[in-house]
Structure 1
């Protein structure tokens, strides 16, 4: 028995040196409780085997019983557990860092879509991007040209290699195809020839559009306060022009667009009226100013940093209101340029201002005749001919200035110390085709020439943009000093949302032949009595005609004082009063000229009547665009034309057909109408229809007279008016004579 115990004691001492290797750990660690159970069971099994061997006696071969002390086994398990926990913790930290980095990368960049998906999305929303011109300094342009030439030559070489391989295969086919070989050789020469330069082509780009307003915060990281102001407006989804323009205008996202890497971008946007262009250029401008303010920090100085130009005061006031909604709580301010901002001793008189201006409908000429109403906090008070300047020596502490061209130009020229524009980094031209027309071109170019910031960017917005306006915009940008001195190339990108030079398809459009002016008035009165939809806008060619129509129909509605007239000869207070009454619903029918045809947003306008045909196709598109705005359906446009207008109607009918909103428009009408010559188009645009001009002759006045009265009734009315005038003059003379006699009776001379 003692021998067996000795043998067991030897085997346990040897087992420490001859212990088997540790088993490999599995990928998933086993729980501690299970490890203890397995080791205890193993010990019991080993004891059972040892007792059995002792009972049976010693075997021929030495028995080695492998056992481990319980303390050493527990230490190994705790060590394994600690290593596994360290590995798991490191893995968790690595996963957390990767997830944070992925979230940050996705939050600062737009969603990356497949190019095929992007193109289908752009095609679905009718968005088309075209690079009109590549601009910049000569060095940068030469570099870009050399790069394009290299790309073209490489493409030509690859094409020639492919053709040569085809040629070698055809040579092996035999002598019967020698003629085909020669033809292929000629084709090779054509393929190897250099391609035309890229400057002669209009390259297209395909940026990823915005599909939801939430992407402005998640993908483009705009200001949180600005995003909240946008969402408070309760916009359901971005319109086509907003989807397409925001990715190009927002800072930090242009490098993601293929073809615009390391380039400054100027944008020209053409979109239908009422499609949300104001919001499309307001969001990037405000976000850029907020970023600039945060970057400069304590060195930030208030002053004009962005300018929005509009052709009329009504449109400028509307733009100011839209900006104010988006600027709440951002620390950025907006101001509308008014005459009261210029000190009285520096204002330009009428005589000097008329020499430099040539405005549409006399709108800008009336700036000096308006009432000197009080302005916002930016108004300057003058005492004893001295200007009470602010602490920083400037008149305007707002970052965004909205103005008409003439008034802003006067402020810059007369008061350069009060209106510094050297830090203006963005200029926005709303209704750019008008601002680049002959009426405003000199004023617009003069304003742009005063902007000297090296970081100046341009954007042009309108529903219509002719080719000459595109050429003028390109020339303005290419000749600006900031572009010529820049180290980066600039690209002017044109965005077309929808169909170019067309109205919205949701507007129902009709055109009616009335033969004469009397027929127009009769048709209008029939409309009043049958199917008038209010609020309603009526457009006429000239101010005298608008006044005459107002005098003729002012009592045709059952409720009095519901018809008003608005034109540029009215004072500023009178114009604003009429606008407020029309928006409040107190006025149902508003008679006006082209003064309100552009940009002004009257929500709920149901009917637009072109009593006189517009002077151009663009004017028709803008007039019709006063209804059906922001996707609202139910808008209607009616156009009356007479015998004198037949030669000008073809372009209007073409727009109606292109937009798809025309009612009862037959193809024979478009084919039978005469084509309008270029000379007639120019004359119509400058002066309007000859018979309706302000200085027309006596015969033309008879044709264009707005009245349904007969000649006999008009003669009687004129005689009555003449008799009233004669009686008034007689009364005045009698009063003068009586006053003279009384004075003579009192004065009898010296005694």
Structure 2
């Protein structure tokens, strides 16, 4: 019995001893395929494998899993799965943070996918085109060779690819025929043909989408950024989105196609789209960087020149710059005649006074200073040896930014090269560039640019309209400049089009009305005054006499007196400034003017623009209409009157209305049945206006185009009264001159 008990106890101990041991963790784990698992265990292992792969990342070493023994606890497996999921989530968060850090790296634009960049540019209607590659002959030849080599490489690849594709198809049809044609394709691949396409190259920079990117991505001056944000701009406009990445320093080399190249920019954007801010921010940031880099060796003086065709626009540009320059240490000055010493001014006046006055009257443009300038007080200017040294307002020529009209700045440079040194000018900005490159201003603009000798000079052209001849003139102007010819790197002229070229804003409601005669215009205008006049209102006419005549005719048509005024270039500067201030303050409701105010001047509250006389060109129409609807403001309206004499000039205006999409009541027959304007008619209209409304037209035409409702008898009496008053004034002046001469002849001096 004892033996049996001993035997049973030994068997029990043997069974414990022979129990399967727990597997040990080894350096070489057991392959998964060698372990047989149940269905539930296999599922658990798949989850563990996915968690382990996620934890190690896609670039990690391959992971080999070890099967758990059948005694492994299921809770431990679940715990490991949760840890793997947590690691996976943490890894994803780390990846997102890393991407965010890369995107928000300062001094560089956002890293966007090329497809996203193109989609963004298409959404905002931004198009970049390289108009010309400029520079010295050596650099151009080098760039042409590099480009030719790239073209040959691409052509060779394309030809070889086509040859391979064609060969595979031809083998199926026949081996002999396939061999012959493949040999021909190889010859074509060896000698690619020179591309004959004239299509211009395009580039795709990353546009900015918020003003905050100027600080975070482009690292502009903190003070400049604060001045921009104080203006309460909600978001950058299209022209600002597209131009700022190209003009700001330090990021141009990141744009594909502009690596190691100089850049000149031509920007075409609708009126009221914020072009002034688009070129002011880069110019100021460039000056701040230059001042910081040069340190103690920095010298004040003119470094940026802004040209504009009219004084009103120049004054407006100066005001916009001053808002952005607060606290930066950079100064801006508007060029005035009083900055030139009297002695040198008199020398120029005796030689060119008559010529300048005739040019001002004929073109109805505010090119230069009027008679009021000669009456301004020069007592604030101190002279030393006939030259201006300083004034009560500070040293004007030591301002870094100079805003001026072309002829006035040219006279200052020619008469006072010591007071207006321009050798350090690194940027020249042409606002309303198509006018500055027109025949009226071209000689003055080119003369100014010829005096700018800085090797780092860059050009920028800005306008709402830019014809092809202006583009070619700009290209020639840059390519012939000494800074480009002596440069050791190539320059590229890039054209940026924001929106639809040569069109007005779609937010402006545009109508065109046939009035048959001049009396019909006056009747339609008075009917508008009594029914649906939206003030403030601008009324444009062709000539100064017509503007004065319309003002005399309707000055009392509004119920409140003194609410209608007239503005033209024959008025003194003081009178013009007073009218402008009153119109902006709301004291004047209706302002009658010529094309003097059609360009660039910002009236943000104008609700209605009336083209009483048809514009002299399509560009003039676009700029006139652009005085309303500024800065995205909706509700602006434009009305154009035309008579029987204007029919042959209407088709171009109708085309602009149809292209912009803001036309009301535009009928289809106007797009097809109206006569086309010939080139000769366009040139004549642009230079002289409609023949019947020119100053000094014949008597028959004068009666036909007269702005008046008075009878002929009343008009004769009025003219006689005016003639009598003029004759009496002349007699008084003549009598005073004769008395002065007699007194001078009688005076013999002291004995």
- TM bracket, shorter-chain basis: 0.7 to 0.9
8 Å CA contact 1:504–1:625 kept in 2: the answer is yes
Select which of 223, 233, 236 maps to 1:235.
233
The alpha-carbon distance between structure 1 residues 156 and 369, as it changes in their structure 2 partners (threshold 3 A), is: same
Of residues 531-540 and 149-158 in structure 1, the stretch that sits farther from structure 2 once superposed is 149-158
Q: Tell me, in whole angstroms, the C-alpha distance in 1 between the residues paired with 2:632 and 2:135.
A: 39
Give, in whole Å, the separation in 1 of the partners of 2:325 and 2:396: 20
How much does 1:140 deviate? 1.0
User: How does 1:306-325 map onto structure 2 within 5 Å?
Assistant: 306-325=304-323
Quick check: which has more Rg, 1 or 2? Answer: 1
Q: Does the CA-based 8 Å contact 2:371-2:572 persist in structure 1?
A: no
| Aligned partner of residue 587 in structure 1, secondary structure | coil
Aligned position for 2:18: none
Cα displacement string for residues 85-137 of structure 1 (whole angstroms, at most 9, x for unaligned residues): xxxxxxxxxx9xx9899579712211100001000000000000000000111
Equivalent residue number for residue 335 of structure 2: 337
1:549 matched residue in structure 2: 550
**Superposed displacement of residue 186, structure 1:** 7.6
Q: CA RMSD in A?
A: 3.2
- Conserved? CA contact 1:692–1:701, under 8 Å: yes
Q: Distance between the aligned counterparts of 2:132 and 2:333, measured in 1?
A: 33
Q: How big is each residue's C-alpha offset from its partner over 1:316-344, in whole Å with a ceiling of 9 and x where there is no partner?
A: 00000000000000000000000010000
1:629 alignment counterpart: 630
* 1:469-513 deviations in Å (ceiling 9; x for gaps): 000100111111111111111100000000000000000000000
Contact kept in structure 1, 2:389 and 2:395, CA below 8 Å:
no
Stretches of structure 1 lacking an aligned partner (at least 5 in a row): 1-22, 25-94, 740-751
Aligned residues: 638
Deviation of 1:389 after TM superposition, in Å, equals 4.8
Equivalences for 1:648-727 in 2 at 5 Å?
Answer: 648-715=649-716, 717-718=718-719
Separation in 1, partners of 2:319, 2:731: 53
Matched residues in 1 for 2:123 and 2:547: separation? Answer: 43
Displacement after TM superposition at 1:171 (Å): 3.7
Structure 1 residues 730 and 572: alpha-carbon distance in aligned structure 2, compared to 1, 3 A threshold: closer
Alpha carbons of structure 1 residues 694 and 390: separation in structure 2 relative to 1, 3 Å: closer
Residue equivalent to 2:569: 568
**How far is 1:710 from its partner?**
3.1
- TM-score by length of structure 2 reads 0.80
Residues 154 and 446 from structure 1, CA distance in 2 versus in 1: closer, same or farther, beyond 3 angstroms?
A: same
Q: 1:407 to 1:673 in 2, by over 3 A?
A: same
The aligned residue for residue 292 of structure 1 is 290
CA distance in 1, matches of 2:229, 2:378: 30
Deviation sequence 1:433-488 (CA, Å, 0-9, x none): 00000000000000000001011000000000000000010011111111111111
| Secondary structure, aligned partner of 1:641 | strand
Relative distance call for 1:189 and 1:600 in structure 2 (3 A) is farther
User: d(CA) in 1 for partners of 2:560 and 2:209?
Assistant: 47
Alignment of 1:515-526 (within 5 A): 515-526=516-527
Residue number among 339, 344, 347 corresponding to 1:346 in the alignment:
344
Following the alignment from structure 1 to structure 2, what is the Cα–Cα distance between the partners of residues 145 and 339? 47
Check if 1:364 corresponds to 2:367.
Answer: yes
Q: Is the 8 A contact 1:156 1:193 kept in 2?
A: no
Structure 1 pair 339–277 and aligned structure 2 pair: CA distance change class (3 A): same
Aligned to 1:214: 212
* Separation (CA, whole Å) in 1 of partners of 2:719 and 2:516: 27
Contact 1:339–1:368 (CA<8 Å) still a contact in 2?
Answer: no
What displacement does 1:351 show? 4.2
Equivalent in 280, 284, 289 of residue 282 of structure 1: 280
Q: Distance in 1 between matches of 2:316 and 2:376?
A: 18
Distance verdict in 2 for CA 1:720–1:472, change over 3 Å? closer
Q: Deviations over 1:610-632 (max 9, x none)?
A: 00001000000000000000000
Do the aligned residues in 2 keep the contact of 1:425 with 1:455 (CA within 8 Å)? yes
Report deviation, 1:721: 6.1
Residues of 2 paired with 1:300 and 1:668: CA distance? 64
Distance (whole Å) between structure 2 residues aligned to residue 518 and residue 150 of structure 1: 69
Contact 2:303 2:424 in 1 (8 A): yes
CA contact (8 A) 2:540 2:592 kept: yes
- Whether 1:579 aligns to 2:580 is yes
Q: What aligned pairs does 1:452-463 form with structure 2 within 5 A after superposition?
A: 452-463=453-464
Q: Confirm whether residue 640 of structure 1 aligns to residue 653 of structure 2.
A: no
Structure 1, 202-211 or 192-201: larger mean CA deviation: 192-201
Kindly indicate whether the alpha-carbon contact (under 8 Å) linking 1:308 and 1:401 is maintained by their aligned counterparts in 2. yes
SS in 2 for 1:106: coil
Unaligned 5+ residue runs, structure 2? Answer: 1-24, 27-93, 740-751
Q: Is the 8 A contact 1:156 1:192 kept in 2?
A: no
Tell me, what secondary structure is at the counterpart of 1:568? coil
Give the CA deviation at 1:669.
1.5
Whether contact under 8 Å (1:566, 1:593) holds in the other structure is yes
Distance 1:585 1:249 in 2: 37
- Kindly tell me: are residues 725 and 458 of structure 1, through their superposed partners in 2, closer, same or farther at Cα, counting changes over 3 Å? closer
Is 2:404 aligned against 1:406? no
- Once the two structures are TM-superposed, the CA of residue 150 in structure 1 deviates from its matched residue by 0.8
SS of residue in 1 equivalent to 2:130: strand
Q: Distance in 2 between matches of 1:134 and 1:375?
A: 47
* Structure 1 residues 114 and 388: alpha-carbon distance in aligned structure 2, compared to 1, 3 A threshold: closer
Partner of 1:151: 150
Mapping of residues 436-515 of structure 1, within 5 Å: 436-515=437-516
Query: In 2, Cα distance between the equivalents of 1:168 and 1:520?
Result: 74
Offset from partner CA, 1:703-726 (integer Å, 9 cap, x none): 110012233443455566678889
Conservation of the 8 A alpha-carbon contact between 2:160 and 2:186: no
* Aligned counterparts of 2:106 and 2:724: Cα–Cα separation in 1: 81
Is the CA contact (8 Å cut-off) linking 2:310 and 2:366 kept in structure 1? yes
| Alpha-carbon distance in structure 2 between the residues aligned to 1:498 and 1:690 | 35
Show CA shifts across 1:132-170 (max 9, x none).
Answer: 000111111111111111111112221221222233323
Aligned to 1:36: none
Contact 2:607–2:637, Cα closer than 8 Å, also in 1: yes
